[in-house]
Homo-oligomer: A and B are copies of this chain.
Amino acid sequence: MPQLRKDPIVDQWVVIAAERGHRPTDFKPEAEPPSSGFCPFCPGNESRTPPEIMAIGRNGTAPNTPGWKVRVIPNKYPALAIEGGLNRQGYGMFDMMNGVGAHEVIVESPDHQWQFAEAPLEDIRDVLIAYRERIVDLHRDPRFRYSLVFRNYGVRAGASLAHPHSQLISIAVMPRRVKDELKAARDYFAHKERCIFCDIINQELMLNERVVVQNEHFLALSPFAARFPYELSIFPRRHRHDYTLMSDEEIWGLAHIMRNVLKRVKEALNNPAYNFMLHTAPYPNPRPGRPEYWGTLALDFHWHIEIVPRLTRVAGFEWGTGFYINPVAPEASTKVLREVEIKE
């Protein structure tokens, strides 16, 4: 069973997933995952993955056979174990609990060569719907406080398989970065009675220096204090705290802007590795005697997607300080990304 351990100084949880069984000699320089050869995510190989949790697009075909458009399965090498209780405990001065959680893979297409930046809008909509269904379903498990959807594309971004996929992790403690965002939104709302993200969005639209693209429902911008070159954030233009409450029309808008910005990133930067991460409101999970601010309905939050092309190395200065050095001004990357010609 993996463990969650808390750093006693900086209040940060770490997953100790020793089941993955690394010996010292197992750490090798990474190579690009092979683009040919056996692929467990390709149609016909369904029996080589753990049994599917859900699929989109089956027209009467049986689970774990071909005929799907999007397929969700448990991660074969999960960082967390789905069975068991949390068993929160002390260990001298330290805090720990069982590493209980869900770790799922969203296989985005049967096509091994499928790309987010090039796909039909319908395909992307199906992927975005799969994210929604899984976040909603995992909410039924009272052990979980938060679900994070993320995508690692390319070996520099941590991908170990080439077949297009995203991942989802549900976890029993609030991630620190999300907690910081929730707290900032809560504090700002207490002071101003407005959403901090809405205020930033309005200012960015007014200044028009860092907005890369917009449609009726969404905008994509380069954050004012971007940590990484060509970092982007996608926000709903109207105040929305919860990804899973998106209307059908909004999902089309999100599919459109996601494809649009990932295409711009691909063209401007020669198909770089990237990560994207979805930050939505946490599960409202208040418990007796634990009235933590993130345990209540986070109506003052504003969900968003962060996209980070992996162009530079994080080194000693960044690890030592939590500070980042970004060699490209967000206004300059905005200009480059705006100038990419998109045929839609």
Contacts and interface: CB of A to CB of B under 8 A. Distances in A.
Nearest to A185: B9
A203 interface: yes
A176 interface: yes
30 contacts: A5-B224, A7-B225, A7-B227, A8-B224, A8-B225, A9-B181, A9-B185, A10-B180, A11-B180, A12-B322, A14-B323, A16-B225, A17-B327, A18-B328, A18-B329, A24-B269, A29-B156, A79-B325, A148-B317, A150-B316, A150-B317, A158-B316, A171-B323, A177-B323, A275-B315, A275-B316, A275-B320, A276-B316, A277-B316, A314-B314
Sort A-B residue pairs by CB-CB distance and give the 8 closest, nearest first.
Answer: A158-B315, A277-B320, A150-B316, A175-B321, A177-B322, A275-B316, A27-B311, A5-B225
Contacts of A306: 319-320
Nearest to A150: B316
Given A157-B316, A180-B11, A181-B9, A200 B93 contact: yes
Contacts of A224: 5, 7-8, 91, 94
Copies in the complex: 2
A323 B14 CA distance: 6
Interface string A299-339: 00000001010011111110111111111111010001000
Nearest to A176: B322
A14 B320 contact: no
Contact of A319 (B180, B199, B308, B317): B308
Given A6-B225, A150-B320, A332 B158 contact: no
Q: Name the prevailing secondary structure of the A interface residues.
A: mixed
B10 A320 contact: no
A184 interface: yes
A151 interface: yes
Contacts of A312: 27
A327 B18 contact: yes
A196 interface: yes
Given A5-B224, A11-B184, A176 B30 contact: no
A176 B322 CA distance: 6
| Residue of A6, A181, A327 contacting most chain B CB atoms (<10 Å) | A327
A92 interface: yes
A229 interface: yes
Contacts of A270: 24-25
B8 A272 contact: no
A145 B101 CA distance: 41
